C-alpha cells in the first residue's frame, strides 16, 4: 500500500490534488481541517489517528509525531535492513507528503498576543517536511500549491522526476528555514536581545529586470519582521519598479516621513537633492524643485501628505521616475496620466522602517541600529545664540544631513535646502561643491548642518563668506576652538550636538 499524507493550513487546490492522488492509487491520510476539505471534495481519506493507532492529543500538538509516520517517510527503500525494520514494526510506506505550516507569519502581521503566537508555532509540520525532504529520492514533499500540477507530470514522465524531487526538497528545507528564522527573530525582538546566531528569513517578492546595471541579475525580497512602507505600496501607473527605483525610494520615504509639516523630498541616486517643507504640498514641491532644478530631473519625489491636482499638474512639466505619497486626489491621478511611464506610488504612512541597517561585505554582514537620533543634547558654544527661526532651520538641516552621503553638509533657509554637499572625501569640498553648483544663489541668513565635526576652521570661514549665520555640528575635534573663534569673529552662532550622523 502506498500512502500520501496531507496536512495543510493553506488549502488552495487540496481537493483536486487529493482526487488526482487517489486516482493514481495512493491511499490518503490526513488530519483535522485538511481531512474535512478532502472529504468535502468527495475523496476518501483516513484519519491519521486511525493509521497510527494513537489519538491526537494535547489540543492537536501531537498528531503526526509518531514512528509510523516518520518511519514511513525516512526508511531507505534501497536498504534491506531498513525495509525489514519497517515491515517488522508494521510501518507502511508514505511516499508523498503535502504540508504547509501554521500561519505564524499571518499572526505576526496582525501583532497577535504572545500566547497566540506560541500556539501558532508548528512542530509536527516542519518535522514531517524535513523527514520527507531528507528522503526526497523516495518521497515527494509538496510545500507549495504551485507544485501540485507538476507532481502529476513527474509521475507521468512528462518532466524529469529526479530533478523535480530534488527541487521539491530544496523548497522544503527553504520553507522550514524561513519559518524558523521568523520564530527566532520574534523571540529575540520580544526579549530585546540578540542570540549568537542571526538567521534572516527573506521571502522573494519578485524578480527585477536587472540590478544597478543591465548586466546584473536582481530580485526583490521582503523581511517578514518589518511592517514596512514597501509592504503597503499601491502602484497606480507606470513601468515596473527597478532596483535603482526601490533603492532611491527607500531613502526618500524614510526622510520625508521625518517631517510633520507638509514636506517634499527630491532624490537622485539615493541622495537628497532638494528638500523642503511649507504650509501646503504644492509650496513644498515648488521649494524642493527650486532647491536643485537640475538634479531633480529623472529623480524620485516623495511627499508626507496627499498630493492634489495642482501639484500633480506642476510635476508633469518635467521628467520624473517615481512619485510617492500617502494618497492622491482624483485630479492628481488624472494629471499623472499625461506621463504614462511615471511610476505613481501610494504608501501607508503608519508603517515603519527597519530597526537594523545591514551591509554585506563579501562574506560578512555588518549590522547596526538605524540612525534615528536627532535634536538631542544641543549646546550653544558661541557668544551668539541662534534665533528661533534659525533653530527650526538647523533642526531641518540636521535631519536632511542624516540622509546625505558622508562627508556631508547641508545649507538651509526658511525650510528649504539651498545646497546639499555629500559623498566627498573632504568636508571643505562638500561645502565648496554647494558654492560652485549654486554660484548665483544668495545664501545670506542661511544655516548649515554638518554630519561630523570640522577638523579645521576652513568650512566655517567659507560659510561666513557665503553669508551663513548659524551652524550645527557634533563637535569633538581637537581644533573645535578654532571654529568657535571664527564664528565669534563673524557674528555666527554654533551649536554642538555631540551626535555624529555618518552615512556611507
**Active centre residues (catalytic):** 134, 269
Helical spans, DSSP H, in 354-422: 388-401
Strand order in the sheet with 271-277: 234-237, 343-346, 322-325, 300-303, 263-268, 271-277, 416-421, 409-413, 447-450, 470-473, 493-496, 379-380
- Would you state the torsion angle of the CA atoms of residues 327, 329, 333, 336, taken in this order, to the nearest 10 degrees? -90
Residue 351 burial (10 A CB sphere; 0-12, 13-18, 19+): middle
Residue 103's nearest CA partner among 236, 9, 208, 178 is 9
- Residues 6 or more apart from 291 whose CB is under 8 A from it? 266, 273, 274, 275, 276, 416, 417, 418, 419
Residue 59, helix vs strand vs coil: coil
Residue with cell 504640498: 281
CB 143 within 8 A of CB 82: no
Would you call the peptide bond into 18 cis, given omega within 30 degrees of 0 as the criterion?
no
In this structure, what are the phi and psi dihedrals at residue 46, rounded to the nearest 5 degrees?
-105, 140
Residue 471's nearest CA partner among 391, 416, 389, 364 is 391
DSSP secondary structure string, 297-353? TT-EEEESS-B-HHHHHHHTTS--SEEEES-B-HHHHHHHTTSTTSEEEE--TT-B-
**Strands, E assignment, 73-118:** 93-99
d(Cα 131, Cα 165) in Å, to the nearest integer? 14
d(Cα 73, Cα 111) in Å, to the nearest integer? 36
* Alpha-carbon radius of gyration of the chain: 30
Count CA atoms within 13 Å of residue 224 on its CB side: 24
Helical spans, DSSP H, in 402-470: 427-437, 458-466
Residue with cell 534615528: 372
CA 399 remoteness from chain centre? 22
d(Cα 20, Cα 13) in Å, to the nearest integer? 11
CB atoms within 10 A of CB 138: 17
CB atoms within 10 A of CB 373: 13
- Retrieve residue 34's grid coordinates: 485538511
Amino acid at each position: 500500500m502506498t500512502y500520501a499524507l496531507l496536512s495543510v493550513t493553506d488549502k488552495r487546490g487540496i481537493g483536486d490534488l487529493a482526487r488526482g492522488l487517489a486516482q493514481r492509487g495512493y491511499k490518503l491520510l490526513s488530519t483535522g481541517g485538511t481531512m474535512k476539505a478532502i472529504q468535502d471534495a468527495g475523496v476518501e481519506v483516513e484519519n491519521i489517528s486511525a493509521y497510527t493507532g494513537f489519538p491526537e492529543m494535547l489540543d492537536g500538538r501531537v498528531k503526526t509525531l509518531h514512528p509510523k509516520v516518520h518511519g514511513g517517510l525516512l526508511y531507505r527503500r534501497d536498504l534491506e535492513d531498513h525495509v525489514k525494520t519497517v515491515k517488522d514494526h508494521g510501518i507502511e510506506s508514505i511516499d508523498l507528503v503535502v504540508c504547509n505550516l501554521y500561519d505564524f507569519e499571518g499572526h505576526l502581521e496582525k501583532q497577535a498576543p504572545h500566547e497566540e503566537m506560541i500556539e501558532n508555532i508548528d512542530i509536527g509540520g516542519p518535522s514531517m517536511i524535513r523527514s520527507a525532504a531528507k528522503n526526497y529520492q523516495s518521497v515527494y514533499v509538496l510545500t507549495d500549491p504551485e507544485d501540485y500540477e507538476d507532481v502529476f507530470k513527474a509521475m507521468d514522465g512528462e518532466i524529469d522526476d529526479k530533478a523535480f524531487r530534488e527541487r521539491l526538497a530544496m523548497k522544503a528545507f527553504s520553507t522550514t528555514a524561513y519559518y524558523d528564522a521568523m520564530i527566532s527573530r520574534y523571540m529575540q525582538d520580544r526579549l530585546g536581545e540578540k542570540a549568537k546566531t542571526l538567521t534572516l528569513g527573506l521571502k522573494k517578492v519578485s524578480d527585477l529586470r536587472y540590478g544597478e546595471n543591465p548586466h546584473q541579475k536582481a530580485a526583490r525580497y521582503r523581511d517578514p519582521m518589518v511592517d514596512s512602507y514597501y509592504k503597503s505600496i499601491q502602484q497606480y501607473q507606470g513601468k515596473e519598479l527597478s532596483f535603482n527605483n526601490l533603492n532611491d525610494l527607500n531613502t526618500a520615504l524614510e526622510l520625508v516621513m521625518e517631517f510633520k509639516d507638509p514636506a517634499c523630498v527630491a532624490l537622485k541616486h539615493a541622495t537628497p537633492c532638494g528638500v523642503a517643507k511649507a504650509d501646503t504640498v504644492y509650496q513644498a514641491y515648488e521649494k524642493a524643485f527650486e532647491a536643485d532644478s537640475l538634479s531633480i530631473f529623472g529623480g524620485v519625489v516623495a511627499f508626507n501628505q496627499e498630493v492634489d491636482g495642482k501639484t500633480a499638474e506642476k510635476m508633469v512639466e518635467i521628467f520624473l521616475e517615481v512619485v510617492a505619497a500617502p494618497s492622491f486626489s482624483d485630479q492628481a491621478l488624472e494629471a499623472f496620466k499625461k506621463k504614462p511611464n511615471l511610476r505613481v506610488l501610494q504608501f501607508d504612512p503608519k508603517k515603519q522602517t527597519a530597526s537594523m541597517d545591514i551591509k554585506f561585505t563579501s562574506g560578512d554582514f555588518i549590522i547596526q541600529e538605524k540612525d534615528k537620533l536627532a535634536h538631542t543634547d544641543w549646546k550653544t558654544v558661541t557668544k551668539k545664540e541662534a534665533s528661533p527661526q534659525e533653530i527650526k532651520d538647523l533642526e531641518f538641516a540636521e535631519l536632511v544631513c542624516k540622509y546625505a552621503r558622508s562627508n556631508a553638509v547641508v545649507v538651509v533657509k526658511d525650510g528649504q535646502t539651498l545646497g546639499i554637499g555629500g559623498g566627498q572625501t573632504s568636508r571643505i569640498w562638500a561645502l565648496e561643491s554647494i558654492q560652485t553648483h549654486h554660484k548665483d544663489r544668495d545664501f545670506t541668513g542661511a544655516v548649515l548642518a554638518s554630519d561630523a565635526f570640522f577638523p579645521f576652521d576652513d568650512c566655517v570661514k567659507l560659510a561666513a563668506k557665503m553669508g551663513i549665520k548659524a551652524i550645527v555640528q557634533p563637535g569633538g575635534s581637537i581644533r573645535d576652538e578654532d571654529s568657535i573663534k571664527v564664528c565669534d569673529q563673524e557674528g555666527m552662532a554654533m551649536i554642538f550636538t555631540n551626535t555624529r550622523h555618518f552615512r556611507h
